[in-house]
Structure 1
Amino acid sequence: MNAFRALAIFFIVFLHTMHVFSWDNNQTQEKILRILFANGTIFFVFISGYLFQHLSAKFSTNKYYVSKFKNVILPYIVISLPVVLYFVFISPKHIEPEFIAMPEWLQIIHYYWFGLHIYPMWFIPTIALFFLAGPIFYQIDKHAEAYWIIPSLIIISLITPRSLFPTDNFLHFLSIYVLGMFSSRYKELVNQTIVKNYIIFIIFVAFVSLFLIEYFALMAGFKTIGYLQKLALIFFCLSLLVKYQKYTHHELITTTANASFGIYFVHAYVLAVCKLASNFFNQYFLNNSLQNIPGNIIFQFLASGIVLIMSIWLVNFIKNLLGDKTYLLIGNIPQSRARQANV
């Protein structure tokens, strides 16, 4: 699933990179891109469930919890600490009187629980709940009939939108995680089915239809149609990656996939630097009154590629600097091996 992991992190980086630009003069392109890339976290959750099942034969509750704390929770705590301390003791991010009135230790817990100190970090408290539920997911996988719960979970996802609360987000993404597990457990059946041309066509039509409904009838966002659209997009992308798997064996894809969680941790910092540079260039060289450079599809794809490459470079730099202590900042980053790349 290397190609899918690389695609998942690209979706996330792409959406967050849109904040570098001003879209006031290009709102149509902005709406198209936001509908297409919004809630790309679904890809990340799907592959998390897929890999959980793939590795379930070696599952041990204690080892699993230790591994997830070491490679996800601990780096989240460490890499967030400077920003959290800055917002708590120097320049409060929240100006609500109730929040300011909280004792500092409670403010720190608040930031870590909601992950609002750095926008992409909202996902870590959510995925932590999936980690806690690991033994339950393991039991689901041991009893194949338990996968019949997926339709009910999809209904729960449809009626529970994303919110600031990790518990709501857990319910919203739960069906996707279990679908990922299902797609791994029945990999041969799923792959043989989705590579058929007529199935690919049906999935594509479903995706385009949902995209158009969201574009013309709704505002871009994390609504019911958006969830279904991403569900169709997951299996459309998966079908193409399986069908054309031989073209996905590339060093860049493998490197991006292996560094995906590290990229997630550092790309917000890379984006902050890029945004400062963009604002400076825009104001002092282009003499533009807008704070950000006007955005368009071409600039957006170029900027996303640059941010992704810079994030990969930063991950490798941290890895070379810290060696076996890399997990403290960005988790465990495996060695890249293009030959090991698969879907």
Structure 2
Amino acid sequence: MIKKEGYLNYIHLFRGFAILIIVGIHCRISFRWPEHSIGKDLLITFLDNGTVLFVFIAGFLFQYLKHKFHYVPYLKRKAKYVILPYILASLPAILYKLYLDTVPAWMPDNIVEQSKMVQAVYMLATGKHLGPFWFIPMIVVFYLISPLLNWLDKPVFYKTVFPVIFVAGLFTFRFGYFSNTFDSFIHYFPVYMFGMWGARYRHRIINLRSSVSLVLVAIYIVIAFMEASNFVYAPKLSSFQDAATDAYFMFNFAKLKVSILCVILLREFHVLNKEVAVLKLLGDYSFGIYFIHLYVITAIELSVKNLVPDFRLNMITFFIYTALVTAITMGIVYVIKKVTGRKSRYFIGS
């Protein structure tokens, strides 16, 4: 049965793929690898910057649903289905940081001197308490400026100003856990706008000739090969010291590569045009997976390190590990959805 465009099956599959990439990224970095591992280098190339996919999808859906946009109801929905689950999912990590862990390196001295409540609010405002949660404070900025984004959504903007913003955005690389909300927002603003552009011109993208699509795939592969072989430098922050000392602007081939991948996947998932059970379920559970998966990774990581202190990943164990984390996380999401019923979105966003 062909669904009307009101239901974008290809975007749903795209989202399922994107959350799998996010889980894979965090599985890769949770254990050490052998020295000079080609498998690790390949995974860094093909997995890192996966958040670009998620932000692209967010921008795409915002533009696609703009005919329903009303600012206050929009913020209320985001508060119920994003902010509330974020707060609930944050509680275990915040309690651990406050009462069982040492003072985090990322917490400013003036916050350390404040009450536990102030420290908890700081954690929620920055997302520092749990690796992937930096994303929520950043995406909230997009929610707050949504009237501006809605106003910018005009053909003249995409033809004149947007290309400049997109190219300028290829020179940023500061985002995530080792950065701050403002830098992450600056980094992803062009990507979000790119997603809005993708939605407005989606029919042109999905109707690209196969030859054009092949050229995009070739460019993606060339950049990936250059990254994996260290022919080009892929800038990234790997510590708080990097954030304090590295140059602020640097051309980011990795960001260009994943932006190209967004167009490729948008077209190819539309060409696929059928239900893919695993990706559909991943799409259904995507927010729940996002909120829970790092807890599962942490539990497995602690268990394995106690049993096999010198355990190291390779390509085979990585894929088994990622599949295991994904399956356990989806099982937890399934149970929560069964227990909470229609209110599950308040608890896990799914």
Give me the TM-score of the superposition, normalised by structure 1.
0.87
| Distance (Å, rounded) in 1 between the aligned partners of 2:335 and 2:297 | 17
Residue 304 in structure 1 maps to residue 322 in structure 2: yes
Structure 2 counterpart of 1:271: 297
Question: Please, which of 204, 214, 219 is the counterpart of residue 217 of structure 2?
Answer: 204
| Gapped regions of structure 1 (runs ≥ 5) | 284-289, 334-343
Question: Please, which of 140, 149, 170 is the counterpart of residue 137 of structure 1?
Answer: 149
Count of residue correspondences: 319
Q: Residue 34 of structure 1 contacts residue 220 of structure 1 at CA under 8 Å; is this kept in 2?
A: no
Q: Deviations over 1:305-337 (max 9, x none)?
A: 221122111111111112233233212x2xxxx
Question: Please, which of 217, 224, 228 is the counterpart of residue 256 of structure 2?
Answer: 228
Specify the code of the residue in structure 2 equivalent to 1:183: G
Structure 1 ranges of 4+ moved more than 6 A: none
Structure 1 counterpart of 2:66: 56
Percent of matched pairs sharing the same residue: 29
Q: Deviations over 1:183-235 (max 9, x none)?
A: 11222112101xx2211221112112211232323455546111111112222
| Distance (Å, rounded) in 1 between the aligned partners of 2:117 and 2:307 | 39
Q: Residue 21 of structure 1 contacts residue 294 of structure 1 at CA under 8 Å; is this kept in 2?
A: yes
Alignment of 1:85-164 (within 5 A): 85-95=95-105, 98=109, 99-141=111-153, 143-148=154-159, 149-163=161-175, 164=179
Specify the code of the residue in structure 2 equivalent to 1:238: L
Structure 1 counterpart of 2:24: 14
Report the secondary structure of 2:203's partner residue.
helix
| Distance (Å, rounded) in 1 between the aligned partners of 2:78 and 2:173 | 26
Question: Please, which of 278, 281, 289 is the counterpart of residue 255 of structure 1?
Answer: 281
Structure 2 counterpart of 1:47: 57
Q: Residue 33 of structure 2 contacts residue 314 of structure 2 at CA under 8 Å; is this kept in 1?
A: yes
Q: Residue 235 of structure 2 contacts residue 252 of structure 2 at CA under 8 Å; is this kept in 1?
A: no
| Distance (Å, rounded) in 2 between the aligned partners of 1:37 and 1:326 | 29
Q: Residue 31 of structure 1 contacts residue 220 of structure 1 at CA under 8 Å; is this kept in 2?
A: no
Give me the TM-score of the superposition, normalised by structure 2.
0.85
Q: Residue 34 of structure 2 contacts residue 314 of structure 2 at CA under 8 Å; is this kept in 1?
A: no
Q: Deviations over 1:82-106 (max 9, x none)?
A: 3213212332341578253344333
Specify the code of the residue in structure 2 equivalent to 1:165: N
Task: Select between 55-64 and 83-92 the one with higher mean Cα deviation.
Answer: 83-92
| Distance (Å, rounded) in 2 between the aligned partners of 1:155 and 1:102 | 42
| Distance (Å, rounded) in 1 between the aligned partners of 2:157 and 2:263 | 21
| Distance (Å, rounded) in 1 between the aligned partners of 2:108 and 2:93 | 20
| Distance (Å, rounded) in 2 between the aligned partners of 1:132 and 1:74 | 16
Q: What is the CA RMSD across the aligned residues, in angstroms?
A: 2.0
| Gapped regions of structure 2 (runs ≥ 5) | 1-10, 237-250
Specify the code of the residue in structure 2 equivalent to 1:207: Y
